[in-house]
Structure 1
Amino acid sequence: MNETTTTLTSTSATGQGLLAGKVAFVTGAGRGIGAAAARLFAREGAAVVLAARTETQLKTVTEEIRAAGGTADHVVCDLADAASVRAAVDRVVDLHGRLDAAFNNAATIVPPGPMDRVAEEDFDRVYAVNLRGTWLAMAAEVAAIRATAGTGAIVNNSSVGSWGANPELPVYGALKRAVNSLTESAAVTYGPEGIRVNAVAPGTTLTEMIREWEHDSPGVVERLGAMTPLRRAAEPAEIAEAAAWLLSDRASFVTGAVLRVDGGIRV
């Protein structure tokens, strides 16, 4: 914690961070990759607005960033609720007068198992958050960027499980593949306006979601690690680093990409 705090304060003070001067919106920011991204984006100089459903988690991360010298606010947001999504993005503009960058990270998962054993209510829930919620967020973010900053960047969080067969998480994989398609289509649509849209596709990452999967399928983390050339899982901060680069001006000629951040795994 002390090391992170020092880095945050130093980067913010110098104004030389990867995202210096930008206003960034992060969904699913209360924990896991989203929380790591919020901390990193602030360290890299962005004013960050965190969004998630659980306010206690949001407050904790927001206070950590502020204590470290970063600029952060939070807004409670349910990605399954269109009005909530629009209100969250509007809040960013109310706070900072603009939106430059957005990381659509929030997602949920279904219990692992064959497609015919997925409950209809689980399918509907994952669809509402992982695909419909991402679509709603992108639409609101494009409108906000267009109306304020004029140009900007969006990164969606996909998954290595979006490629090929995914028999253990078939619905999750299918909807993440749809996120890839939305990403690529949006890149073509909004590129002429100077709005870049990309995605990151994480491999095994040590988040609460993977721990839930491990609970339901003991040994899955070890098995996936054995299939990964780097022979380990990622830390959430490692995925956040890729998202930060894609949102930054250093990736100014990158759009429509789904960047694998997976340790080389091929599943």
Structure 2
Amino acid sequence: MTLDDLRSGRGLLMVGLVALVSGAVGIGTGLASSKSRKEGRVARALDVWDTATLNRLAPGDPVLVGGKLAQDNAVLFRDYVAYLEYEPYKKKFSSSSSRRRKIHWREERRATPELRVETATGGVRVSNTDYQLGAATPAPENDVDEWGPTSWKGVREGDASATGLLGPRERWYTGFKAGERVVILGTLVNTGDTPEVKAQRVFSGTQQELVRAAERSSRGLWLLARVMFGVCAVALALLIWSGVQHLREN
């Protein structure tokens, strides 16, 4: 794009859109970074609670519960008691020598039901269905924000939506199975024989691994936010420069 192109109405519109989109993405990723940083800070400060110690707390207190997913949790698909389903899609990437395609994954379905966790001193129930998943193991795919300790790719039997024009489309499933060890970050809802917790994240790993994962996510998101804010700043500078040139000419 030449300077004359930039100063045209169409050029200014494109630069304005770049500024708007990059600014919005920067704000969104900055807020997500702050959320991850807070998650890590809260998880670091808490003790790991079980059924007995939860009963010493009051509803509304932040908690970190350690235990295993109970064997009587309902199996939803294959061996999963909670999972995410991702569908494939493609983005085009241009280069000077060739044009290639890479498969990416986007969330198609969430299956995050209420869960029962067995701790060292009894059961704890996760009473909400809007928690996030997490695992200490590296993400099997680079472009996803949530994953569990086990994953499986394949075509879901009887799922007509998984079949496209070129035949069956493989889906990627990731989540938790009964018996897997977890730590749950959340808020205490009720005490009693089976305390209830509103979970923010169900995580496969230790407290220390949850803290490290949250801090790593926060750093990556903040780096992306800084890049987006930089792009926005350059675009705004170009708009201001174009406006100044226009005033000088008139």
- TM-score when normalising by structure 2: 0.22
Larger Rg, first or second structure (1 or 2): 2
Higher helix share: 1
Q: Which has the higher contact order (CA 8 A, sep 6+)?
A: 2
Higher strand share: 2
